[in-house]
Amino acid sequence: AATAAAALGPPLPSRRSRRSLQRGSRPPSPRDHGARPPTGARPGAAAVSGAGAADFAAKAPVRKERVFETRLGAGRAAARGQTRASSRPRGLPGQGGFQNLSIRLTPDESKERLGKIVDRIDSDGDGFVTTEELKVWIKRVQKRYIYDNVAKVWKDYDRDKDDRISWEEYKQATYGYYLGNPAEFSDTSDHHTFKKMLPRDERRFKAADLDGDLTATREEFTAFLHPEEFEHMKEIVVLETLEDIDKNGDGFVDQDEYIADMFSHEENGPEPDWVLSEREQFDEFRDLNKDGKLDKDEIRHWILPQDYDHAQAEARHLVYESDKNKDEKLTKEEILENWNMFVGSQATNYGEDLTKNHDEL
């Protein structure tokens, strides 16, 4: 057990602590009910193939992932007359291979394409993939995803094509229909959502706007969309987390609020073991001053741990699970034998990179 723990590295933070590194197809905001698998997460249903996948899903407890939502969520997209874009990966590995809205891959085709990615990960070309090479690659994938994401949505907001996005441009693109037709939303839940999110977006935009001109450069807009990646935005991440979970408005997160953020009770039934484990985590590791609640500093320690490297943790896990001969490095054959896990990990951008051309990686 000790050897396994050492190979895996430090325990993964809970779902909420991984929240800060989610990668939605739109900028992050609260109440995500369909976000990407977290960086560093152990593979779950996405990595289970064939008949086992159905059994896995059927036995899984009711669990809410605390992650950033796509900023253009259901309500906002409706206000713009759009269909909500899912931030989940378009395909998942399984018995039928990888399936995408525009491409279908058999298992053999998936393995072939994964093999080409493995060649890129093996940076020194020695025929082995080390934990360090995997970590470097995962960080590269993370960074590419973020900047690709910004590039894809940039034209939606830069309406005057001056290569900058003003707060007014963003507000009109996101909330324009709502602001122009408030009567249509007066009796809907979207009205409350818009009323809450508009000032919150403005606060985040101003925090990202370092020169204070209410106009974002590409780098500033990237900080707005992905605040968890920028040091000067960390306080916003902490504040938004507190606001999301603190249901009684006392400025703290108590244990019940912490649990309610990730678990829905069904007819007052018993809590599954993982919930009991999370309660213990709260008491032993989250609530540092043992006052029964989390303040901003404790929330920051929870969701933005300074001594935790998500890419390193995922790389260690992938190596540990795939290293058949326990030499602490992987051959291409070992990776392809465990291809489901790699396709369900950030090493392949959760399978999306299997659909890309070589020069896009």
CA distance 53 to 75: 31
Torsion angle defined by CA atoms of residues 83, 86, 87 and 90, in that order, rounded to the nearest 10 degrees: -140
- Average pLDDT, integer, range 276-303: 96
Q: Is the dihedral of CA 244, 247, 251, 257 positive or negative?
A: negative
Lowest mean per-residue pLDDT among 174-183, 223-232, 277-286, 325-334? 174-183
Give the containing element (helix H, strand E) for 315: helix 310-322
Beta-bridge mates of residue 166: 215
Of 31-45, 74-88, 116-130, 191-205, highest mean pLDDT: 116-130
Instruction: Report pLDDT for 182.
Output: 85
Lowest mean per-residue pLDDT among 56-65, 136-145, 165-174? 56-65
Count the alpha carbons within 13 Å of 16 in the hemisphere toward its beta carbon.
27
Six-digit token pair at 180? 């122009």
Give percent above pLDDT 90 in the chain: 60
Count the alpha carbons within 13 Å of 126 in the hemisphere toward its beta carbon.
7
H runs (alpha helix) in 122-261: 131-157, 167-180, 189-208, 218-225, 234-245, 255-260
* Contact predicate 313/9, CB 8 Å: yes
Instruction: Report pLDDT for 102.
Output: 44
Q: What backbone torsions phi and psi does residue 165 show, to the nearest 5 degrees?
A: -125, 115
CA distance 275 to 207: 35
- Average pLDDT, integer, range 132-152: 95
Q: How many CB atoms lie within 10 A of CB 270?
A: 8
Q: Which of the two residues, 211 and 22, has the higher pLDDT score?
A: 211
pLDDT surpasses 90 at 12: no
